[in-house]
Structure 1
């Protein structure tokens, strides 16, 4: 099996690459590329994202044909894709970081700044926080409710359909931590920075 981490110049993704390679060992081939033919022929995709919503969307659009290839892979061929941090946020129709920016439109919703309640909650939301499991998710196999994951973000994904939400965390409000919709998976937290439990989530995705 081949798993492709999409490298579209969205910041440092070395910890994502290292974690996936650590879990995959020699059994699964992990490729890091923006080559469209390789992305089309792979079995699973990981879409990382660091920086702002706009900068990540712009970086995807800067590689000719990449968005169309991702749409074909995910929406038409329904192969598994995991978005991490801004990688998840880009599933939305629209994001409001910097300026209003159109997202991939895979899951109806918007990405808005976390309401810090007039400075009561620090932004960005950085550090370990507790997951509240909302529904069963295949990538949470053997992960217990109230487990802690590592976050770094100031914006949150607010989907229109609450049924896609698999977990939330309480920071100012119930923030979406993860989603699952058919073949589309996403985590707002960083599994690659979330110690053994994060590696277990990566393993669960690789084993789908």
Structure 2
């Protein structure tokens, strides 16, 4: 039986490019804003670009969506992938345009990138290395390579063990988080060419 891959449509700007990348990675994808579809999905992908506040408000504006995601991921054990702001929403809160609550699935907060070297530009934009941390060396989805980033805020995780990979932009920035059946990537796999497609393929084949 073909798996149902639910790509959540809540107004995130990178929805169509993520959809196309998942199809290129070999999966049929259901783009949906229906909590009932999400509650029955085999895998869930949450995209996101823009501000933490706008994305959080867009997701919460869909009645029952956060509850459906929480039930399917935390109770049902469905593999979950958050991309860019979709990853940042896993945090307890974001500090962009005020304090905005996140999903609270991976403890931490999303803060402005503030490099000590004024020559380091914000946003962090372009290709950069993804370096796995020692405890994540054998992770089934995250691998080392070069990916495309575009962000001005970064995920500051409370528990270092939740951080699977880092990148460097004047300071160490979280490139990926992972806990149980939940993965978040700060980079854009849909813009990361062969590395990004390989990441998506591994997620689609992952049974945590």
TM-score range, shorter chain: over 0.9
User: Contact (CA 8 Å) 1:75, 1:106: kept in 2 or not?
Assistant: no
Is residue 17 of structure 1 aligned with residue 19 of structure 2? yes
Structure 2: 5+ residue runs without aligned partners? none
Task: Give the one of 156, 159, 162 matched to 2:157.
Answer: 159
Query: When the two structures are superposed, what TM-score results if normalisation uses the length of structure 1?
Result: 0.93
Query: When the two structures are superposed, what TM-score results if normalisation uses the length of structure 2?
Result: 0.93
Match of 1:2 in 2: 4
5 Å matches for 1:112-191? 112-117=111-116, 119-134=118-133, 135-136=136-137, 137-140=139-142, 143=143, 145=144, 147-191=145-189
User: Contact (CA 8 Å) 2:22, 2:28: kept in 1 or not?
Assistant: no
Match of 1:197 in 2: 195
Structure 1: 5+ residue runs without aligned partners? none
Q: Deviations over 1:113-144 (max 9, x none)?
A: 0113263211111000011110232113xx4x
Relative to structure 1, the CA distance from residue 206 to residue 69 in structure 2 (aligned partners, 3 Å threshold; closer, same or farther) is same
**Where has structure 1 moved over 4 Å in runs of 4 or more?**
none
User: Contact (CA 8 Å) 2:6, 2:32: kept in 1 or not?
Assistant: yes
> What is the root-mean-square deviation of aligned Cα atoms in Å?
1.1
Task: Report how many residues are paired.
Answer: 201
- After TM superposition, the structure 1 stretch with the greater mean CA deviation from structure 2, 50-59 or 64-73, is 64-73
